[in-house]
Amino acid sequence: MPLYDAEYLPLSYLSQIGYCPRRVGLLLNERIWLESADTAKGRKEHENVHTQRIERRGSQIKLFEYAVFSDTLGISGKCDLIEAQKEPSGCRIPAAEFPVILYPVEFKHGKLRDEQEYKIQLCAQAVCLEEMYHTTIPEGAIFYISSHRRQPVEFNEPLRRLVCETAKELHRIRDTLSIPTADYSEKCRRCSLLEYCMPSIKQSAHAYCEQLTAEAQEVEML
Instruction: Give the footprint of ligand SF4 on this chain (CB under 6 A).
Output: 20, 22-23, 26, 182-183, 187-188, 191, 193-194, 197, 199
Comparing CB distances to ligand SF4, the nearer of 74 and 199 is 199
Write out the H or E segment, with its range, that includes residue 120.
helix 116-133
Residues 85 and 90: their CA atoms lie apart, in Å, by 9
Comparing CB distances to ligand SF4, the nearer of 18 and 199 is 199
Residue 102's beta-bridge partner residues? 84
CB of 169 to ligand SF4, least distance (A): 15
Number of other CB atoms surrounding residue 157 within 10 Å:
7
Nearest CA among 37, 8, 13 for reference residue 26: 13
Number of other CB atoms surrounding residue 19 within 10 Å:
16
CB of 194 to ligand SF4, least distance (A): 4
Comparing CB distances to ligand SF4, the nearer of 97 and 183 is 183
Comparing CB distances to ligand SF4, the nearer of 54 and 194 is 194
Comparing CB distances to ligand SF4, the nearer of 172 and 187 is 187
Buried b (16+ CB within 10 A) or exposed e, 52-63: eeeeeeeeebbb
CB of 116 to ligand SF4, least distance (A): 16
CB of 146 to ligand SF4, least distance (A): 22
CB of 13 to ligand SF4, least distance (A): 13
Residues 87 and 103: their CA atoms lie apart, in Å, by 12
Comparing CB distances to ligand SF4, the nearer of 18 and 104 is 18
CB of 59 to ligand SF4, least distance (A): 44
Q: Name the H helices within 4-56.
A: 13-19, 21-29, 37-49
- Give Cβ neighbours of residue 137 (< 8 Å, ≥ 6 apart): 101, 102, 103, 104, 126, 129, 130, 155
